[in-house]
Amino acid sequence: MARKKKKRIRHVRFFIGLCLAAIFFFIFIFIVFVRPHLTRPGFEIYVPSGYAVHGIDVSRYQQKINWAAVKKMDSGGERIWFVFIKATEGVNNVDPWFEENWEGTKEQGIARGAYHYFIAGRDPVQQANNFIENVSLGPGDLPPVLDIEKAGRLPVTRIQNDAKTWLDTIEKYYGTVPVIYTNISFYEKYFSTGFEKYPLWIAHYKEAYRPRIDKDWAIWQHNETGKVDGIKAPVDFNVFNGDSVAFKNFLINR
């Protein structure tokens, strides 16, 4: 009887040991080969793996920025390739740090882009003109961006028509197709049909591999609490959906 009991104990221990070994094996495989995201000590966030081109976006909330420090920073082999800068809002507001940020990124050779924060219910042509009057785009810059996240109490058709008016006005002036920035729920409600030609910059946090959206996307804003040398406040982090060649082709080239 004692012998059988010891045998059972050995079998149980062997089974437990086998299970633990299997668990550690799968953890090892997951970390080494899958790696849904990598910790970047300098950025102090998880950065999705599998993306070569990383960037940030800034506005007045980041206040004064040392762009030389941003350019120089390297965290685990990753650096900042591009920056989207808030330029305008509504029909007459201009971000107080836009001009300084716009020139600072150019001086450091960082690919730069400008975005307009859209106010629902305000005249879309006046909003487009506000952007045009304050933003000069040229070769090597990113396409202009419509940041639209709130609809107020306006119906879907009104938001769609006003957004299309802004996009058409901007495309006609700059000669390049603008980008739409928004979150998944807003995009699916307002822009899932009829806006296919516009590159999508989608905001979706705490996802390991990619944003959970069926639409093809160009840029993914995956975190809003990143740290970057030369910037005191937290910043939004983004990845471009493509390699360095695709990114170069994404820039304005004329």
Name the residues annotated as catalytic.
57, 149
Of 194, 199, 196, residue with least CA distance to 180: 199
What is the distance between the alpha carbons of residues 182 and 205, in angstroms, rounded to a whole number? 12
Interatomic CA distance for residues 54 and 241, integer angstroms: 10
Number of neighbouring beta carbons within 10 Å of residue 150: 13
Distance of alpha carbon 73 from alpha carbon 76, whole angstroms: 10
d(CA 238, CA 83): 9
